[in-house]
Chain A
Amino acid sequence: MITGGLDLGAGVIKGVLLEDGRRLLATASAPSRGIPVQAARHVLDTLGETANIAPDDIDYLCTTGFGRYAIPERNLQVSDFTSSARGAVFLFPKTRLVVDVGTQASRTMSISETGKVLKFKMNEKCAAGAGRFVERCSKYLQVPLEEMGPKALASERPKLISSVCAVLAETEIINNVAEGVPLADILMGVFLSLSQRAHSLMRYVGIQPEVTLVGGLVRNVGMVKALHDTIGMDLNVAPDAYYAAALGSAVLGHARLQKLTTAPQGVGG
């Protein structure tokens, strides 16, 4: 049984294929660029090619994220909280707190021993706590996104940012550049600033191990280090945690499909 999970995020569309709710067959992503449906189709095609599976062979498709209602052929849609929590538990079964820093929102969820979301908190009002802030920094500091993390690791004296607004921080950062603050220190300051935002969300729901980082910034080593230093605790990170929400929705899709196939009357679920 093959289930697909699609996460239609604000910046990037992510997808996975899962076999029997256990084995990860393929992962793929594409920037949404304002045309999420087209990007999602592209992700589905890539997934099929990677796993050598025809679109019809996907038994069940579950969507999540901002654009989850945009895909007509979906069988099910789930909220971002549920899917990214489930994905985190799939990757790290002992997860009790999930931190998800995305392009346009950051969220944190506490998880019960049975993998249920207990409490959650989200910031979607302000770019200062989201990946969009990092993207903007990448642009005006002229450091490609994927190089920001590794470069930040060289920081010896991170330059903290006092502004709590992504736009005002921009001025502050440009002033820091003009004053000759080393790039690594500026970059680490950016990640620490994001980490502090995430930390206050985390404190709201309660911090307890294990903490799993998922979402767009999980592949950024600078962000991982900054978050680790800020909360003073080890974090679960894995490359596939980038796809946590897509993965979680595939897992939830599988569970739903199983329920449907084992209960003959339940047609139409």
Chain B
Amino acid sequence: MERCDVLVLGAGPGGLAAAAAAKKAGAESVILLDRDRKAGGILNQCIHDGFGLIRYGASISGPEYAAKALAEAEEAGVTLRLGLQAVSMTRERTLLAQGAEGLAEFEAGSIVLATGCRERTRGAISVPGTRPAGIFTAGVLQNFVNVRNILCGKRVVILGSGDIGLIMARRLTLEGAHVEAVLEVMKEPGGLARNISQCLYDFGIPLYTSHTVSNIIGKRKLEAVEVSAVDEAMKPVPGTARIIPCDALVLSVGLIPENEVALTAGLAVDEKTRGAVTDRFLMTDIPGVFACGNCRKVMDLADYVSLQGTLAGENAARFAAGEPLKPWLFRPVSGLVKGLPKPGSVTCPICPNGCQIMIDPETGAISGNLCPRGLIFAEQEKVRPMRTLTTTLKMEGGTTPLVSVRSDRSLAREHLIEAVRRLKACRVKPPVRRGDCLAELTFDGETVRMLAEEDAE
């Protein structure tokens, strides 16, 4: 039995922040547990940028965000225990985990749950049809494409307009697949306006709201999906069906808070969302057990998760020390909004405000920006939209097949696909350090450097 003041479950953005904060708030021993051998959780497969606008004041990628958060936790003196899968826990705050070294038992003064979420599946939403190869949830596919160097197919339909689905629409397009359509059963898309603008509109990918997949076709391998408009009750409207041939169907139909470990201790979860129920101090119904991030309530931004993790970690330390707790008073400050961008607007990616800036098609007048940076962005959008490129490079002889990279400056949107095509031939040899320049691209006489987002051996 290993004793500690604070035990944090899950080393994603919430857990890393919680562990660091608990240590800084005075907890003597803080153990951070994760089933993976690498800290960062799902951030490691989110190679796109847009993270860190609030926490770090810059748009960085998931792996970069994870690296920063990990450095903070390590600096604070958190004990990382990786490659350990928590199996069960008790209301007395003991926890059983297992790894290659055996079973490990922990006893903690307080526990922070930061176990994230899982994806809703085809089974859960009962899409009719056959069960062929070629159906993936967006996050599973993101992991295959960005981490394991495996591509699903070439003609893709995406069901659901959650952020991961939108991100994957762009990612697959950049990697040479053709995204035939994104379908959303609701009247409004579920993802951020920013992502609809930069992942779909940028590449001319059609989005059909109030539509769903009404049948899956293909006995062994997916051949096509039948797509139908839906009525108010979200049932397919007869007569509206059409067939879209495809070899991959990607589902981005919602996230479910993951609380399997804590449920073994009888954690109270919301009947509908399945999220851990907490009081205003982020404490669950189990005394001394706190919850933060997506296992409590699915959040739009990792930055928010970190913020909440910080308070959960601090309160966990306070609880372990018998000190009074502080309430979670945070209200989202970001203007980043969900749903369709305003018609004719461009969504500014520079800061968390995510201004939807209007450009008058006749006069060219710009309005709706909260700051001068938005004005500059919109002026550029008028003449030539520029984008940061995030992608992967093939590693040779490394422990992983890919390393993620980000351009050091933005490049013209029309060059993005060609840029990824050129980078396909590139081979990188380990070791790689975050920030290393791994490739250069020249467009229109200007050179763009591709910098490593992560360390790789």
A binds B: no
Chain A positions near chain B (C-beta within 8 angstroms):
none
